[in-house]
Chain A
């Protein structure tokens, strides 16, 4: 068996693949946070809870209304987009003039509400969500059996990340968005409806969280606490990548997932803390994050 630093290569590659799967979730989540932060200057603490809600909506759709996984992939993000728009209209729009901290506190409260409601209804033991038939089984990669579903998670999230990046950086709509972020007053003066853009941005960010939730449901099963376990690590990812950088959040998310995978092989004791250790180091060297600009 080929070995690398005393570790059998297949074991290392296997953990790297799993790290890439986790990294896909980090990337999608931190991307949503970055989009929202760029436009609204709000750290969306409810992001984890909305991700969990996405997974639960998919599960509820399947259990109560026989909505298939593939339909859930489309319908759940749409539903959450509506939820996001409602949150923005009802709460967030009143906070833009205040200290940004209030946005963080408000979304923290929303996170507690959403998590509590699902806990009360479904307990914390988790609900199984079957892997769709088309994606059951495993691929033999030589060094490991990679379940087809997890391979799909990687592909799907890369596609979504690319599409989001493309929309923001390369399309007309995206250019309005960037302009509105840079200088809202001027953009408004050019006849672009900035409040509408802000509302849609929040909806889009939330929809991304919901999509990540649907993708996670078959792999990780559906649990009211799944979001709160993830969100703090994603915060660290965002701090490392630099806030508001779309590209930075995608790359950092994937990269950190893989680093976590590697630590699981070499030094498993710190695998759950490695993200935070890296964050501390980055803060010392580049306080604005790897891809962020010092303001």
Chain B
């Protein structure tokens, strides 16, 4: 767990700026943002150091544009994908290091753990990395915002597309923890809802390295589609080993949660034609390209949706602190919910009462090698899933905060 403390700016109140907004009442005059992420494990590629880069970019942009009269610090730590480490670190940050907000939290188990600590300490959490819909359902609370995507959204995009393309029988290979379970459940609903059938599933330990015996089970099931309800290196290894055992191309694989970094490491040759659902693709329009190029210059990789979402969420939070003139948890939360999210990542994004930030999602298909014209040119955008359809409707929510 390496913590880096980067003091980004000393922006004292400038006389010229004293008009208008009320003097900000920020506790100890510093807003501390903690980035708690996987720095060394299975998800370090898709989140990791890149999210720290994104958070720092957000802070710099905010300072350059808004000239706040408070200091901002970014601290970061490695939660090693373990709930207990994440929970202890967050507790220490809140109690001892005066951290105001914890962000990122890839790996659902760490997210669920920190969510509870934050509620106990009445501090905010912005989640860009984790996937499970539990965060805004059974486990929802009034200090959490789930930003980038969730298992409902990706299943709703990918599983629907694959089933409609004729993949009627499914078998799931599931990472054995909250995230995998959620993804399997959400995808099962979608498959059943679209006339498909689920033949079975097998759960593998997280993180795994040898998937051969699980893949043989999937093969024996005879399903047309093997749904990969896992992520990061678990997904890339499953795909590689499926090819090794001659399972593909007889049966096809559906990576239910894949990131551009996975495609990058596997190559287009072995992933071409796969569908995936993301909340962001760097090559969507001028705005996304401009931001992603800046990110690329610093991180030497194009951003994943988790990293882009991290920027978006941190910037939205800082704007809310400025507008509310305080870093008081509930006042900032109210301000964040009141203001629509408008940046390169989301257009007219909205934070619902269950903590879900809803925005457009994209159904993408991986290009054939010959279609790819320049580095990181990987996807064809097949459909834009409008915010209203992309996420689980509030009517189905299990969150007690939702008034029905």
Binding site for B on A (CB under 8 A): 8, 10-11, 14-15, 18, 119, 123-126, 128, 131, 138, 140, 144-145, 147, 149-150, 219-221, 223, 226, 261, 264, 268, 272
Binding site for A on B (CB under 8 A): 39-42, 44-45, 80, 202, 205, 207, 209-210, 212-213, 216-217, 219-220, 232-233, 237, 240, 244-247
Interface CB pairs A-B, < 8 A, 23: A10-B220, A14-B216, A14-B219, A18-B213, A123-B41, A123-B44, A124-B40, A124-B42, A124-B80, A124-B207, A125-B41, A138-B244, A144-B216, A144-B245, A145-B246, A147-B244, A150-B212, A219-B210, A220-B210, A221-B237, A223-B209, A261-B213, A268-B202
On whether the beta carbons of A145 and B40 are closer than 8 Å, the reply is no
Contact partner, B216, options A15, A125, A220, A221, Cβ 8 Å: A15
What distance in Å separates the Cβ of A115 from its nearest Cβ neighbour in chain B? 13
Give bound CA distance, A15 to B275, whole Å.
Answer: 31
Contact partner, A138, options B39, B41, B246, Cβ 8 Å: B246
> Which residue in chain A gives the minimum CB-CB distance to B220?
A11
What distance in Å separates the Cβ of B380 from its nearest Cβ neighbour in chain A? 27
Chain A residues closer than 8 Å to B216, beta-carbon distance? 11, 14-15, 18, 144
Give bound CA distance, A126 to B237, whole Å.
Answer: 10
Chain A residues closer than 8 Å to B246, beta-carbon distance? 138, 140, 145
On whether the beta carbons of B209 and A125 are closer than 8 Å, the reply is no
What distance in Å separates the Cβ of B263 from its nearest Cβ neighbour in chain A? 15
On whether the beta carbons of B44 and A11 are closer than 8 Å, the reply is no
On whether the beta carbons of B217 and A11 are closer than 8 Å, the reply is yes
Q: A11-B217, A145-B245 are in contact. Are A220 and B40 (CB under 8 A)?
A: no
Give bound CA distance, A94 to B313, whole Å.
Answer: 59
Question: Which applies to chain B's interface (DSSP): helix, strand, loop or mixed?
Answer: loop
Contact partner, B42, options A125, A144, A145, A219, Cβ 8 Å: A125
Chain A residues closer than 8 Å to B210, beta-carbon distance? 219-220
Q: A124-B40, A147-B244 are in contact. Are A220 and B209 (CB under 8 A)?
A: yes
Chain A residues closer than 8 Å to B237, beta-carbon distance? 126, 221
Chain A residues closer than 8 Å to B232, beta-carbon distance? 125
Give bound CA distance, A20 to B368, whole Å.
Answer: 38
Give bound CA distance, A11 to B217, whole Å.
Answer: 7
Chain A residues closer than 8 Å to B42, beta-carbon distance? 124-125
Chain B residues closer than 8 Å to A261, beta-carbon distance? 213
Contact partner, A15, options B40, B41, B209, B213, Cβ 8 Å: B213
Chain B residues closer than 8 Å to A123, beta-carbon distance? 39-41, 44
Give bound CA distance, A124 to B247, whole Å.
Answer: 27
Give bound CA distance, A223 to B205, whole Å.
Answer: 15
> Which residue in chain A gives the minimum CB-CB distance to B217?
A11
> Which residue in chain A gives the minimum CB-CB distance to B237?
A221
Chain B residues closer than 8 Å to A145, beta-carbon distance? 245-247
> Which residue in chain B gives the minimum CB-CB distance to A13?
B216
Contact partner, B213, options A10, A125, A131, A264, Cβ 8 Å: A264
Chain A residues closer than 8 Å to B233, beta-carbon distance? 125-126
Chain B residues closer than 8 Å to A125, beta-carbon distance? 40-42, 44-45, 207, 232-233
What distance in Å separates the Cβ of B195 from its nearest Cβ neighbour in chain A? 27
Question: 5 shortest A-B CB distances, which residue pairs?
Answer: A145-B246, A123-B40, A11-B220, A14-B216, A147-B244
On whether the beta carbons of B209 and A126 are closer than 8 Å, the reply is yes
Give bound CA distance, A204 to B212, whole Å.
Answer: 31
What distance in Å separates the Cβ of B129 from its nearest Cβ neighbour in chain A? 15
On whether the beta carbons of A226 and B209 are closer than 8 Å, the reply is yes
What distance in Å separates the Cβ of A183 from its nearest Cβ neighbour in chain B? 44
Give bound CA distance, A150 to B246, whole Å.
Answer: 13
Q: A8-B220, A147-B244 are in contact. Are A221 and B44 (CB under 8 A)?
A: no
What distance in Å separates the Cβ of B214 from its nearest Cβ neighbour in chain A? 9
Chain B residues closer than 8 Å to A147, beta-carbon distance? 244-245
What distance in Å separates the Cβ of B194 from its nearest Cβ neighbour in chain A? 29
With A126-B209, A149-B244 known, 14 other A-B pairs at CB within 8 A are A10-B220, A18-B216, A119-B40, A123-B39, A123-B40, A138-B244, A140-B246, A144-B245, A145-B246, A150-B212, A219-B210, A220-B209, A226-B209, A261-B213
Give bound CA distance, A261 to B245, whole Å.
Answer: 17
Chain B residues closer than 8 Å to A119, beta-carbon distance? 40
Give bound CA distance, A15 to B232, whole Å.
Answer: 26
Give bound CA distance, A34 to B344, whole Å.
Answer: 62
What distance in Å separates the Cβ of B176 from its nearest Cβ neighbour in chain A? 11
> Which residue in chain A gives the minimum CB-CB distance to B43?
A125
Chain B residues closer than 8 Å to A140, beta-carbon distance? 246
Chain B residues closer than 8 Å to A264, beta-carbon distance? 213, 217
Chain A residues closer than 8 Å to B80, beta-carbon distance? 124
Chain A residues closer than 8 Å to B213, beta-carbon distance? 15, 18, 261, 264
Give bound CA distance, A221 to B217, whole Å.
Answer: 21
Chain B residues closer than 8 Å to A150, beta-carbon distance? 212
On whether the beta carbons of A124 and B41 are closer than 8 Å, the reply is yes
> Which residue in chain B gives the minimum CB-CB distance to A261?
B213
Give bound CA distance, A138 to B207, whole Å.
Answer: 26
Give bound CA distance, A264 to B80, whole Å.
Answer: 29
What distance in Å separates the Cβ of B372 from its nearest Cβ neighbour in chain A? 22
Chain B residues closer than 8 Å to A226, beta-carbon distance? 209
On whether the beta carbons of A138 and B245 are closer than 8 Å, the reply is yes
Chain A residues closer than 8 Å to B219, beta-carbon distance? 14
Give bound CA distance, A1 to B44, whole Å.
Answer: 44
Chain B residues closer than 8 Å to A128, beta-carbon distance? 240
Give bound CA distance, A123 to B240, whole Å.
Answer: 21
On whether the beta carbons of A18 and B212 are closer than 8 Å, the reply is yes
Give bound CA distance, A265 to B272, whole Å.
Answer: 33
Give bound CA distance, A8 to B222, whole Å.
Answer: 12
> Which residue in chain A gives the minimum CB-CB distance to B250?
A145
Chain B residues closer than 8 Å to A131, beta-carbon distance? 244
Give bound CA distance, A70 to B224, whole Å.
Answer: 38
